[in-house]
Amino acid sequence: MRSAAVEETAYCCFGCRFAASVADTDDADDATRRAATRLGIAAFFAMNVMVFSMALWSEHLYDASRLQPLERAVRDLFRWLAFIGTVPVLLLLGVPLGGSAWRELSRRRPSMDVLVCAGVLAAFAMSLWHLWTGGPLYFEVTAMVLVLVPLGRWIEAQARLHAGRLLDRCGGLLPQRAVRLTSDGPRIVAPELLRPGDRIRLGIGERLAVDATLQEPAAAEFDTRLLTGESRPVGRVRGDEIPAGALAVSTDVTLVVLRPADRSRLAQILGEARRARKSRGRLQRLAERLTPWFTALVATTAAGTFLAHQARDGTETAILSALAVVLIACPCALTLATSLTVWTALQRAAAVGVLVRGGEALERLATVKAVRFDKTGTLTRDLPNVRAAFDESGRPLETARGPRSDTETPIVETAASAALPLDVLEEVRAAAAASPHPFSRAIARFLREFDERNSSFHGDNDRAGDRVAPLRSTRCGEPTTLPGRGLRVDRRPDGATRALSPAARPSGTCTESGRSVIWIGSRQLMDEAGCRISEGLRRVLEHTADEQSCVYVGVGGRVVAAFVIDDELRPEASQALAACRRLGLDVGVLSGDTAARVTALGRVLSVPAIGGCSPHQKTQHLRDVRATIGPVAMVGDGFNDAAALSAADVAVAMAAGVDLTRVVADVCLLNNDLRGFPWAVRLARRARTIIRQNLLWSFGYNTVGMLAAATGRLNPVLAAALMFVSSLVVLINAQRAAGVPAWTEPSLNADERSSPAVVGANRDPADGCRAECTESEPVAAVPTRDIAASVPEATP
* pLDDT recorded at residue 583: 94
Contact criterion met (CB below 8 Å) for 242 and 223: no
HSE-up (13 A, CA, CB side) for residue 154: 18
* pLDDT recorded at residue 347: 79
For residues 205 and 677, the model is more confident at: 677
Low-confidence winner among 24-28, 236-240, 699-703 (lowest mean pLDDT) = 24-28
pLDDT tens for 264-295 read: 777 776 666 566 555 555 666 666 677 677 77
Percentage of the residues of the chain whose pLDDT score is greater than 90: 8
Contact criterion met (CB below 8 Å) for 194 and 260: yes
pLDDT level of residue 774 (50, 70, 90 thresholds): very low
Contact criterion met (CB below 8 Å) for 412 and 427: no
Residue 162 has pLDDT above 80, yes or no: no
For residues 404 and 160, the model is more confident at: 160
CA distance 232 to 223: 7
Q: Which amino acid is at 323?
A: L
Q: Which of 421, 419, 426 is nearest to 447 (CA)?
A: 426
CA distance 251 to 592: 44
Q: Give the sheet arrangement for strand 219-223, strand by strand.
A: 234-237, 219-223, 247-248
pLDDT tens for 356-376 read: 877 788 888 999 999 999 887
User: Which residues is 188 bridged to in the sheet?
Assistant: 179, 793
For residues 210 and 512, the model is more confident at: 210
3-state secondary structure 685-714: HHHHHHHHHHHHHHHHHHHHHHHHHHCCCC
pTM: 0.60
pLDDT tens for 44-79 read: 888 888 888 777 766 655 666 666 777 778 878 888
- CB burial string 42-58: b at 16+ within 10 A, e below: bbebbebbbebbebbee
Angle between helix 573-582 and helix 676-710 axes, rounded to 10 deg = 30
Average pLDDT over residues 333-361: 78
User: Which residues is 380 bridged to in the sheet?
Assistant: 569
CA distance 572 to 570: 5
Cα-atom radius of gyration of the chain, to the nearest Å? 36
* pLDDT recorded at residue 707: 87
Low-confidence winner among 364-373, 500-509, 559-568, 705-714 (lowest mean pLDDT) = 500-509
Mean pLDDT over the full length of the chain: 72
Q: Of 3-7, 54-58, 99-103, 209-213, give the range with the top mean pLDDT.
A: 209-213
pLDDT tens for 597-647 read: 788 888 889 999 998 887 778 888 999 999 999 999 999 875 556 677 878
Residue 37 has pLDDT above 90, yes or no: no
3 state SS of 410: coil
Phi-psi category of 370—alpha, beta or left, where left has phi over 0 and alpha has psi -120 to 50?
Answer: beta
Q: Which of 657, 658, 654 is nearest to 672 (CA)?
A: 654
Q: Which of 143, 131, 126, 137 is nearest to 47 (CA)?
A: 143
Backbone angles phi, psi at 23, to 5 degrees: -80, -25
For residues 772 and 311, the model is more confident at: 311
pLDDT tens for 675-725 read: 999 999 999 999 999 988 888 888 888 888 888 888 887 877 777 778 778
Q: Which of 253, 352, 249 is nearest to 759 (CA)?
A: 249
Does residue 217 have a cis bond before it (omega within 30 degrees)? yes
For residues 31 and 107, the model is more confident at: 107
3 state SS of 236: strand
* pLDDT recorded at residue 407: 40
In sign, the C-alpha dihedral spanning 672, 675, 678, 682 is: negative
Q: Which of 532, 534, 533, 529 is nearest to 511 (CA)?
A: 529
pLDDT tens for 418-453 read: 456 666 777 888 888 877 777 888 888 888 877 776
